[in-house]
């Protein structure tokens, strides 16, 4: 098996001059989305561009210069934006002459707010501090105990992470505006409930409220696959792509979906559970308690379960499943047919899952990511060819597949995006049902 040409290490941009956040369609709001207040549209345009002029925003968004000037003056007075010298004229601007006022650009007042993004994981908890412009300031990682926990135990671990992080930074809670937090499982972003998570031994009813009470800060929670998708949308290659899917392969199989430049969660906020779609009736037992789920054939615990038999290391399966997977991968590299057959079988099931994603949603690109991307047998050229063969494309070009290999902090960066998006909506206006803005 050979790895596809689309596989590549990926790097999150460092927000600042490059900006961060979705690059919205011309006209201010993504097609198909509800209109947003003009003050929020202009602020998000500045943050996405990193630095831009009033004239550029007026042209791009189809808003009169007078309206742009009036609203940006309010945003500057309120401490959300600031003026700075424009290094170069924006395309379409008149070249700077020796006379008149030098060009002035707008930037986010980065120091106005700070947020923390947290990813609670099976083996590691991570945290990232960011300013209002989305710039990465600091991070921290702490080991976690790989076991199902009670909600109070998980909340206590999050508090210990925050306490140590703030102490390391020399900051107080009063200097943090809010926290974005992600974890595996079915997470209701709106209600703050977690009906099921492999990290919890009971349903996490009112879990967000428990985090807020313990941390003393507003907390916004989401599924970890959604965090990875937000990281792509805010800091990665998804910034300029209106419709894409992210499929994660870790201790489970997750999925995030972006439609019209916006994260889609489903009617009840619990959608996109690709790992728990059924690929085999009465099939392998999944950690959710049901049989035949996709992740029961593809996730690392599923591969380790078969590796324990193939390598005759059942004790290692319980003690260190990741080490067992590394051994399995090494054996496959050496041509061990049993090891190769395990990866081939998992790859075929993954091809089936990816074909279903392409068939149902027809995204421009499907991004494969997560902590198991080193096992390239899962996304070998043959696997992706089988995915395309299973998909009815007609005369259309098939959905493109890219493989992004991230570091451990990508989920916490996605939690930063979650926090920044929520904070921006609260400060500058959420989506409204009003008619589109006009010049």
Where are the chain's structural domains?
A: 12-112, 114-228+410-427, 240-405
Burial of 35 (0-12, 13-18, 19+ CB in 10 A): middle
Question: In this predicted structure, what is the pLDDT of residue 429?
Answer: 84
Question: In this predicted structure, what is the pLDDT of residue 6?
Answer: 47
Where do the H-state alpha helices sit in 111-223? 151-169, 207-215
12-112: what fold? Arc Repressor Mutant, subunit A (1.10.10)
Please, which pLDDT band fits residue 274 given cuts at 50, 70 and 90?
A: very high
Please, which pLDDT band fits residue 376 given cuts at 50, 70 and 90?
A: confident
pLDDT of 25 > 60? The answer is no
Which of 126, 261, 113, 248 minimizes the C-alpha distance to 182?
126
Ranking 217-231, 275-289, 297-311, 368-382 by mean pLDDT, the lowest is 368-382
The correct answer on CATH 3.30.420.40 for the domain covering 114-228+410-427 is yes
Q: What is the DSSP letter of 219?
A: E
In DSSP terms, 115 is beta-bridged to: 130, 178
Question: In this predicted structure, what is the pLDDT of residue 381?
Answer: 87
- pLDDT tens per residue across span 146-175: 889 999 999 999 999 999 999 999 999 999
Please, which pLDDT band fits residue 11 given cuts at 50, 70 and 90?
A: low
Mean pLDDT to the nearest integer, 230-245: 93
Most confident of the ranges 34-43, 200-209, 330-339? 200-209
Biggest alpha carbon distance in the chain?
80
d(CA 73, CA 42): 11
How far lies 432's CA from each of 15, 38, 243, in Å? 28, 11, 22
Q: What is the DSSP letter of 270?
A: -
12-112 and 240-405 share one fold: no
d(CA 272, CA 244): 13
How far lies 352's CA from each of 222, 290, 304, 346, in Å? 26, 19, 21, 10
240-405: what fold? Nucleotidyltransferase; domain 5 (3.30.420)
Between 252 and 103, the more confident residue is 252
In DSSP terms, 254 is beta-bridged to: 248
- pLDDT tens per residue across span 92-128: 445 555 555 667 999 999 999 999 999 999 889 999 9
Segment (H or E) for 263 = strand 262-264
Which of 198, 255, 248, 234 minimizes the C-alpha distance to 406?
248
What long-range pairs does 187-190 form, CB within 8 A, spacing at least 24?
187/221, 187/222, 187/223, 187/226, 187/269, 187/270, 188/268, 188/269, 188/270, 189/220, 189/221, 189/222, 189/223, 189/226, 189/265, 189/269, 190/269
Whole-model pTM over 0.75: yes
Pairing verdict, β 124-131 and 136-143: antiparallel
Strand order across the 244-249 sheet: 7-9, 400-405, 365-369, 244-249, 253-259, 262-264
Please, which pLDDT band fits residue 206 given cuts at 50, 70 and 90?
A: very high
Contact 226, 256 (CB under 8 A): yes
């Amino acid at each position: 098996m050979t790895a596809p040409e689309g596989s590549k290490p990926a790097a999150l941009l460092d927000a600042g001059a490059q900006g961060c956040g979705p690059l919205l369609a011309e006209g201010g709001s993504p097609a198909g989305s509800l209109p947003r207040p003009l003050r929020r549209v202009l602020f998000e345009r500045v943050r996405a561009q990193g630095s831009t002029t009033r004239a550029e925003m007026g042209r791009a968004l189809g808003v009169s210069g007078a309206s742009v000037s009036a609203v940006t003056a309010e945003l500057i007075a309120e401490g959300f934006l600031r003026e700075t010298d424009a290094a170069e004229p924006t395309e379409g601007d008149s070249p700077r002459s020796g006379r008149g006022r030098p060009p002035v650009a707008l930037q986010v007042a980065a120091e106005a707010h700070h947020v923390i993004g947290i990813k609670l994981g099976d083996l590691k908890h991570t945290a990232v501090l960011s300013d209002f412009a989305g710039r990465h300031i600091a991070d921290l990682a702490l080991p976690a105990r790989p076991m199902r926990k009670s909600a109070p135990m998980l909340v206590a671990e999050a508090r210990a992470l925050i306490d140590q992080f703030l102490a390391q930074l020399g900051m107080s809670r009063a200097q943090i505006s809010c926290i974005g937090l992600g974890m595996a499982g079915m997470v209701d972003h709106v209600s703050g409930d977690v009906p099921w998570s492999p990290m919890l031994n009971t349903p996490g009813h009112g879990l967000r409220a428990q985090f807020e009470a313990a941390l003393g800060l507003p907390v916004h929670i989401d599924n970890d696959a959604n965090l990875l998708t937000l990281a792509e949308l805010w800091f990665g290659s998804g910034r300029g792509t209106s419709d894409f899917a992210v499929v994660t392969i870790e201790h489970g199989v997750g999925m995030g979906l972006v439609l019209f430049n916006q994260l889609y969660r489903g009617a009840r906020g619990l959608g996109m559970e690709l790992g728990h779609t059924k690929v085999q009736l009465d099939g392998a037992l999944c950690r959710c308690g049901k049989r035949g789920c996709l992740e029961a054939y593809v996730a690392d615990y599923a591969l380790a379960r078969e590796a324990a038999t193939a390598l005759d290391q059942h004790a290692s399966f319980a003690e260190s499943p990741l080490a067992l997977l590394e051994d399995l991968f090494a054996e496959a590299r050496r041509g061990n047919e049993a090891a190769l057959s395990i990866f081939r079988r998992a790859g075929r099931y993954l091809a089936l899952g990816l074909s279903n994603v392409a068939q149902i949603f027809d995204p421009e690109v499907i991004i494969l990511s997560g902590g198991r991307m080193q096992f390239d047998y899962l996304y070998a050229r043959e696997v992706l060819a089988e995915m395309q063969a299973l998909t009815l494309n007609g005369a259309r070009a098939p959905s493109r597949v890219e493989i992004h290999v991230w570091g451990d902090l990508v989920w916490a960066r996605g939690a930063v995006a979650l926090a920044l998006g929520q904070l921006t909506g609260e400060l500058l206006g959420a989506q409204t049902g009003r008619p589109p803005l006009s010049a």
